Amino acid sequence: MPDIINLLPDYLANQIAAGEVVQRPASVVKELLENAIDAKATSVQLIVKEAGKQLIQVVDNGIGMSETDARMCFERHATSKIKSTEDLFRIRTMGFRGEAMASIGAVAQVELKTKPHGADTGTKLIVEGSSIVTQEPVVTPSGTSICVKNLFYNVPARRNFLKTNAVEMRHILDEFQRVALAYPEIAFSLYHNEVEVFNLPSAKLSQRIIGIFGNNYKEQMALCDEETPFLSVRGYIGKPEFAKKTRGEQFFFVNNRFIKSGYLNHAVMTAFEGLLPKESYPFYVLFIDIEPDKIDINVHPTKTEIKFDDEKTVYAIVHSAVRKSLGAHNIAPSLDFEGDVNFAPLQPIRIQNNEQGFEQERKTFSSAGFPAPSSAPKRVSSAGWEQLYEPLRNQPTGEERISSSASTSLLDDAFAADASPATSNKTLQVHQKYLLVQVKSGIMVIDQQAAQERILFEKYITSLQKKAVISQTLLFPQTIELSPADAALVKELQAEFLELGFQFEDFGGNTIILNAIPADVQAANEKELLEELIEQYKNNLATLKLDTRENLARAMAKRLAGRLQTRMSELEMNSLVDKLFACEVPNYTPAGQKTLVIMELSQLHELFQKN
């Protein structure tokens, strides 16, 4: 039998390895930024074009590399970080495997310029597809500059899988923010298509958080600082009342390395238990410092997952630290940001000791629990009951009834027409949240907000496709300051926002001037609406694979549905029902939530124990 097992050529092995390390432009950004940090840089500049598809460049003032090291860094498993197995369990550097540069060089055109401090000249290398094309001396500043051009130029299938520029830039911003938060003592800057997005000087952690997320975070943060013999926890947590409806601003760092941990996130969320509004998520930036031999970071190619020797102890300390911080800051006044950042004081709860009301209530009831004979019966208006029974006076005969089902069912397309409400039936509103409509098979209950979300989504997605949205010009244009990341996102999506009806212009920096909003949106709190829309868009971006227009339509519908009035007139209720059944998919919201439920007559009979 002939031999069939062969050694792969280096270029092919590097491409395979690159599939694990380099998944998208943000992966390259992460690796290059971490290399700059390991090189002891005090200033790092990131330059990207076309969301990293055309160019990613990182320039640092670190220690630089010699000519030999510059060539060696593109070899597989070539690293300066570890030399023995023992070193693997004492790692404090960001990189250690020696795979990043080899993987990047396998799938991109790379130009490296580097010079050690004190050297007269530096080294320039050009690498394409794992092959060194050029190596020559060059005049360059001390430190290292790496240009990564045309990512996946030699792997067209991988390049085709890249998302839109807005999506890829969002991932780059995420990686940049994580590294910038982990090292506030290092100055970072970011330029996209020659426009400055971030310019973060060396600062304290609190100032770095403001630089990344905006000035409104000054009042939101509380210091968290806990020291134990096993580990230390430090950082900032957000006030519960500033929690957001979307995830994305929760950061855990272990030995300054960003990690993703649902387990530790649960520790924080349980510490906030009872303090957060429903379906809200607090902001936090927490750093855990622990001995390297107590953790294993070599469990995932991206190093974002870590194993702890004693997970339960880590969980307990994190939970206790957050809980302690919440307790301490709830009783302290809010101070200027340059000092400690604390919560506003809680107002004392005053309970009036008044038993008179209870005595009066006791007198109106007998010991058996029925109204006392001496109490005069109140006259109850029957108008409300007559309105409730009115739709049932034209109840179909038994022969016309549809056979009942065993359980509450969702309105499916198959019987949508049969269950559609008759226009003559009266629609009732229940607790300003649900609409009650009589249908042939029983009663239809409509979730008011979910129905509005479905109606708005189909309206906006149609408008975006036809580009036929009408705007209303604001009497007083609104100046809105956004976080650097949100400002970059809004500018990237300016054309799509215009199609939705938002008209704004760049005012410089992270500020825009909002001149118009969609015609059907009430002109109030425009800044809050835009921020909520951006937040919902980012949340969809992180959890769903949607194109830009559908994402914006979903985000707009979700946010506006929650803002619409809850109390409705009969005309408005009937209009809502009609619009819902005019939708292509009336059964569900865009996210798959039910908009309506049918309760059949048989179920009502069972509730009243009727045959």
Structural domain harbouring 295: 206-330
Q: Would you say residue 3 lies in a domain?
A: no
Q: Is the pLDDT of residue 175 over 90?
A: yes
Q: Are 282 and 193 in contact (CB under 8 A)?
A: no
* Domains identified in the chain, total number: 3
Residue 480 belongs to domain with CATH number? 3.30.1370.100
45-65: pLDDT as tens digits: 999 999 999 999 999 999 999
Q: Would you say residue 258 lies in a domain?
A: yes
Q: For residue 334, what pLDDT is reported?
A: 38
- 172 and 221 housed in the same domain: no
- 547 and 483 housed in the same domain: yes
Q: Are 553 and 546 in contact (CB under 8 A)?
A: no
497-536: pLDDT as tens digits: 888 888 888 887 788 898 988 887 776 677 777 887 888 8
Q: Would you say residue 347 lies in a domain?
A: no
Q: Is the pLDDT of residue 303 over 60?
A: yes
Q: In what order do the strands lie in the sheet with 221-227?
A: 221-227, 231-238, 284-290, 250-254, 257-259
- 178 and 114 housed in the same domain: yes
Q: In what order do the strands lie in the sheet with 503-506?
A: 471-481, 511-518, 503-506
Q: Are 138 and 113 in contact (CB under 8 A)?
A: yes
Measured CA to CA, the distance from residue 542 to residue 117 in angstroms comes to 42
Residues 6 or more apart in contact with residue 556 via CB below 8 angstroms: 456, 457, 460, 500, 518, 533
Q: Would you say residue 4 lies in a domain?
A: no
- 38 and 146 housed in the same domain: yes
Is residue 114 within a helix (H) or strand (E), and if so which, with residue range?
strand 109-115
324-350: pLDDT as tens digits: 999 887 633 334 444 444 444 545 545
- Residue range 260-270: mean pLDDT, rounded: 92
- 150 and 265 housed in the same domain: no
- 123 and 107 housed in the same domain: yes
Neighbours of 352 (CB within 10 A): 5
Residue 324 belongs to domain with CATH number? 3.30.230.10
Burial class (CB in 10 A: 0-12, 13-18, 19+), 10: middle
Q: Is the pLDDT of residue 401 over 60?
A: no
- 542 and 393 housed in the same domain: yes
Q: For residue 43, what pLDDT is reported?
A: 97
Neighbours of 417 (CB within 10 A): 8
Q: For residue 190, what pLDDT is reported?
A: 95
Reading the block at residue 185, the tokens are 């003592």
CA distances from 289 to 111, 203, 254, 600 (A): 36, 20, 6, 59
Residues 6 or more apart in contact with residue 141 via CB below 8 angstroms: 61, 115
